[in-house]
Structure 1
Amino acid sequence: SWDGCGLCFPGCLSLVGPRFVTGTTGDSLTVRCRYEQDYKGYNKYWCRGQYDTDCNKIVETQGTEREERSGRVSIRDNADSLTLTVTMENLNAADAGSYWCKIQTVWILDEWSRDPSFQVQVSVSPAPRTTTRRTTHPATPATFPTVTAGQNFSTNHCPGVPLSTVHFLLLIFLKLPLFLGVLGAVLWVSRCQKGPGGR
């Protein structure tokens, strides 16, 4: 049923996590993003950039729960808890910026089709200066938003409509008519220009 759904595109509110996380130079930080049940089998990835449509992929899961690593960054998908965990190690000032938890789903690349994503702003503070030997404090996991019974994102958004079905309906009812309309306009203009010239 579409009741209470409105226009719910694939990816709307299907991924949640912390908006801001802070780490200390030389230490590690952990970011956890949660996703809906519908995305259990998809690859997840962590990328960097101001916009989710134009970010550089850093590390990606490979459809398993095994940890994947790229340099100082690792990623793990825990399907049982529907949680994506990213760890950035040995932080430095250049690591500060805009990052995204994302789910690899898109098979048609246009302005309507986007991978579900959640933006995380990472800040890095300088390590405290001490004259004694420096000790490394254990990483503090980023605070994760609590989902209460009334805010259960896995059941409240588009109830009863799988996201793949929504995307298919979007393709049929929006993209296809738009494409046919543009094609018809091109043919009509071409015909109108051909007519007087032919005479």
Structure 2
Amino acid sequence: RGFWNVPVWNYAKSVSVTGHVGGSVNISCKYPQSQRSHPRFLCRMMGNGDCNYETSVKESRRWRNEGKLSLHDDRAKQIFTVSFNHLTEGDSGEYWCGAESDWTSDHGYKVFINQINLTVTGE
């Protein structure tokens, strides 16, 4: 786990989302069928070009709640949804969602699917 460097050639689609302090936003990442069986992940891009691992979801069609983040993966529709809850201005930033094969293995790999630019404004 930890930090991953995001290759530019994996860039697929950029999404800009605006939320309000104390509110929530939903972000959907559509992924290719070739990645359907792999866990989905979310990471936050840091200033040094590394993507800081936030969390992942491995099951289909079941919400996973992790405090501020809620994750849902519908493999039939190939849509990974992330909900950011109880937003603060500190949540503003660049995030990436993607698919990962076995990241505990030296042969594991990650595919970055969507770049998410989140802006949180005052109430």
Which bin holds the TM-score, normalised by the shorter protein? 0.7 to 0.9
Residue in structure 2 matched with residue 116 of structure 1 by the alignment: 111
TM-score (norm 1): 0.50
* Rg (Cα) greater in structure: 1
Cα RMSD of the aligned pairs, angstroms, is 2.4
Which stretch of the first structure deviates more once superposed, 35-44 or 97-106? Answer: 97-106
1:131-151 per-position Cα deviation (integer Å, ceiling 9, x unaligned): xxxxxxxxxxxxxxxxxxxxx
Cα distance, 1:67 vs. partner?
Answer: 1.3
2:46 to 45, 50, 62: 50
Residue in structure 2 matched with residue 73 of structure 1 by the alignment: 69
2:81 to 64, 79, 85: 85
> Percent identity at matched positions?
24
Gap regions ≥5 residues in structure 1: 1-10, 128-199
Gap regions ≥5 residues in structure 2: 1-8
Residue in structure 1 matched with residue 57 of structure 2 by the alignment: 61
Residue in structure 2 matched with residue 184 of structure 1 by the alignment: none
1:52-75 per-position Cα deviation (integer Å, ceiling 9, x unaligned): x73222221123321112111011
Q: Which of 1 and 2 has higher RCO (CA within 8 Å, sep 6+)? A: 2
Report the structure, 1 or 2, having the larger helix content.
Answer: 1
SS class of match (1:122): strand
Cα distance, 1:12 vs. partner?
Answer: 4.2
TM-score (norm 2): 0.77
Distance 2:74 2:90 in 1: 29
Report the structure, 1 or 2, having the larger strand content.
Answer: 2
